[in-house]
Structure 1
């Protein structure tokens, strides 16, 4: 029997720490489920301080965030990572800078999400995410290139959802009223013709369970982990 090859994954985490813990637990759970026994994922994790990153996001200084993430990616590759994951949807705005800084693959969260949506038969998805991810083209265009239509809540609801993410979920606060607000956004999206839902922020899965949603739902953190384990196991 050939020797098991389990590739090492490099995680750019801390954005936020709440969802990075989901990545760590999910990657190890998936590897154990696939290989059995005492197997776990081979990981190198660099967890950034999110406060300076969030301040740069608010200022619109994406060149600076890209430079910061590119440096982390180089260090992860130097530590033995054979592929890189940015453990956040919004920071995939800087995916080009990260890819340019490394010689190993970047496993892109939007590609993993598109594949998961297609597997569920979704054609028009409601994207629930930070304001940056919902309003800037980097994420929508990646999904549209895969043949998916994307819809977002209206402007006031986008502001509300952004606040829920940054003021509550990122710091581990789970508010039932916020859960109700997001469920109302989902109901409106369904009425507008959406046939699927994207938890397009890695923290939304802390607030809602995809299994409880009225439409097929992809939690991007989980889809990203599944794609990473596929790569790790070759």
Structure 2
């Protein structure tokens, strides 16, 4: 089995991804069994000034340190359970020390396989205002919708004032359900929870739309790679979808035995109203 490295940027989402990866291992391999996994985390506080100033290059440098430490710990590949961090990881620069799965690739592939045509996007303000998910969905013929400006502020506030500190409030849950309901009114047929802490708050039973849980989808995709159901990814940071040395599109996901990009789910797990289940 392959050794997974988890590049943590925000602690709650990284912890949920770690637990989900281990639980997926138990389900696939038997009680108490999972592939080796190592997590490295440089405190988010050290990167917040750079996020606020838009200095993504310095954030990439910080994240690169974590990837290098994961490589030294023996990891074969990495995942970063922080959607917003991928905005920095995508910057041009030296190859990261390990290949990694791109979280937007995993989520958008699952949306495509579920037949989604218009997906709402909930995440940090940095992510909702940026191109990461619109580009990933557009490549698959899917429209991306973000909440209006006022609702984006509410979504972002709950993330930074509550979820990143492990606080889950009924007020936050109600606000998110309201925002998702408005996305449904605009024609969305699913909502992508693309801040990895949001699944702590929004569960399928309270969401007005089917959910794409980026945290658990990434964990499942990582397990597929770790146990050999999917090959190692080829992405080592840099622009999303750029050509590799063989002239092929280099993507965060991988091609499985069926010729489709891996989605972190087995056949038989892909149907149902909650795309993360």
Identify the match of residue 74 of structure 2 among 51, 70, 80: 80
- Answering whether residue 3 of structure 2 is matched by residue 8 of structure 1, we say yes
Which is richer in helix? 1
Moved more, 108-117 or 204-213: 204-213
SS at match of 1:210: coil
- Look up the match of 2:222: 228
- Answering whether residue 26 of structure 2 is matched by residue 29 of structure 1, we say no
CA distance in 1, matches of 2:49, 2:102: 24
CA distance in 2, matches of 1:86, 1:75: 14
CA distance in 2, matches of 1:200, 1:212: 17
- Look up the match of 1:198: 192
CA distance in 2, matches of 1:33, 1:92: 29
Name the TM-score, length of structure 2 as normaliser: 0.78
Identify the match of residue 153 of structure 1 among 144, 147, 154: 147
Q: CA deviation at 1:117?
A: 1.4
Whether contact under 8 Å (2:67, 2:97) holds in the other structure is no
- Answering whether residue 114 of structure 2 is matched by residue 134 of structure 1, we say no
CA distance in 2, matches of 1:55, 1:193: 36
CA distance in 1, matches of 2:92, 2:31: 35
Moved more, 130-139 or 89-98: 89-98
Whether contact under 8 Å (1:69, 1:98) holds in the other structure is no
Unpaired runs of 5+ residues, structure 2, are 229-277
Whether contact under 8 Å (1:30, 1:226) holds in the other structure is yes
Aligned-residue CA RMSD (Å) = 1.6
Q: CA deviation at 1:97?
A: 4.8
Moved over 3 A (4+): 97-100
Whether contact under 8 Å (1:23, 1:221) holds in the other structure is yes
- Answering whether residue 184 of structure 2 is matched by residue 185 of structure 1, we say no
CA distance in 2, matches of 1:132, 1:182: 18
Q: CA deviation at 1:201?
A: 0.4
Q: CA deviation at 1:211?
A: 4.2
Matched residue count: 228
SS at match of 1:178: helix
- Answering whether residue 37 of structure 2 is matched by residue 43 of structure 1, we say yes
- Answering whether residue 57 of structure 2 is matched by residue 63 of structure 1, we say yes
CA distance in 1, matches of 2:49, 2:197: 18
CA distance in 1, matches of 2:101, 2:214: 12
**Is the alpha carbon distance of 1:119 and 1:222 closer, same or farther for their aligned partners in structure 2, counting shifts above 3 Å?**
same
Q: CA deviation at 1:98?
A: 8.8
Q: CA deviation at 1:178?
A: 1.5
**Is the alpha carbon distance of 1:115 and 1:99 closer, same or farther for their aligned partners in structure 2, counting shifts above 3 Å?**
farther
Moved more, 103-112 or 126-135: 103-112
